[in-house]
Amino acid sequence: MKEHRKDIVTCPKCKFTFSKTYSRVVSCRGCPQSITHCAFIKCPKCGHEFHE
């Protein structure tokens, strides 16, 4: 259960709460840095990129 909580983040811009895993699958598809452990998280709702 703790692993699941670590995966949940909230976008600082639009306040949408989502899973980092979901974001990487949906929002980062096609980005070459998505396979190299990028430090950014991209909100699947508004597209804002931020550091955790």
Q: Tell me which amino acid residue 22 is.
A: Y
Domain ranges of the chain: 2-51
pLDDT in tens, 24-44: 889 888 888 877 778 899 999
First-to-last alpha carbon distance for the chain, in angstroms, is: 20
Q: CB count, 10 Å around CB of 9?
A: 16
**6: enclosing H helix or E strand:** helix 2-7
**Model confidence, pTM:** 0.78
DSSP 33: G
pLDDT in tens, 12-26: 999 999 999 999 889
Q: Is the pLDDT of residue 2 over 70?
A: no
**CA-to-CA distance for 24 and 31, rounded, in angstroms?**
10
**What are the two backbone dihedrals, phi and then psi, of residue 48, each rounded to the nearest 5 degrees?**
-65, 135
